[in-house]
Amino acid sequence: MSHRVCPWWVGYFLASPLRRLVHNPTTILRPFVSEGMTVVEPGPGMGFFTMELARLVGRPGRVVAIDVQPKMLMELRRRAGKARLLDRIDARQGPGDGMGLDDLKGQADFVLAFAVVHELPGIERFFAEVSTVLKPGRRLLLAEPHFQVSAREFAATLQIADQNGFLVDSRPAIQWTRSAVLVRV
């Protein structure tokens, strides 16, 4: 896979309201997220999904969004402030070679990894790290863009997930993606 980080300015397109015609965040996320949850979102970009995650976890919940690009995080925080959701979003800059999630061990109820895993330098490390933060029995929604990640590459990613303690629970149909819901055993 490419491991090329998407340019920061692409973040504006990804966070455009027009994208809702293809990816409705409420429809995609509501089956997984409820009030009070702690949700981790690696690679949030400018927060297209983060805002809906924050609405769904409500005031008692929190969303930890980790991106490697400061410009993505700056715009995410701006949008969250405007939507009055910043109080429940912890937007962090990640170290790049990992997610820097040591303080969240065993605390996450749900992880969303949307269009990010193919950009990471180490997929094994990603799943190993996520398996330490996710509570047993809880789910990770993995979605990769189908025009950037082939069926074969996605199958290889699922195999790495399996080796790190994740089972495939379902394969949701999300437009323009190859997706899987993984359960941390």
Positions that interact with ligand SAM (CB under 6 A):
5-6, 11, 14, 42-45, 48, 66-69, 72, 94, 96, 114-116, 119-120
Closer of 59 and 71 to ligand SAM (Cβ): 71
Determine how many CB atoms are found less than 10 A away from the CB of residue 139: 22
Separation CA 123–CA 143 (nearest Å): 14
Residue 99 identity (one-letter amino acid): M
Least distance CB 94 / ligand SAM (angstroms): 4
**Least CB distance from residue 179 to ligand SAM, whole Å?**
12
Closer to ligand SAM by Cβ: residue 37 or 68 = 68
Looking at beta carbons only, is 119 or 162 nearer to ligand SAM? 119
Strand ranges (E), the chain: 38-42, 62-67, 89-93, 108-114, 134-145, 166-170, 177-184
In the complex with ligand SAM, the residue whose CB is nearer, 143 or 161, is: 143
CB of 7 to ligand SAM, least distance (A): 9
For 113, counting Cβ atoms within 10 Å of its Cβ (0-12 exposed, 13-18 middle, 19+ buried), the class is buried
DSSP state of 5: P
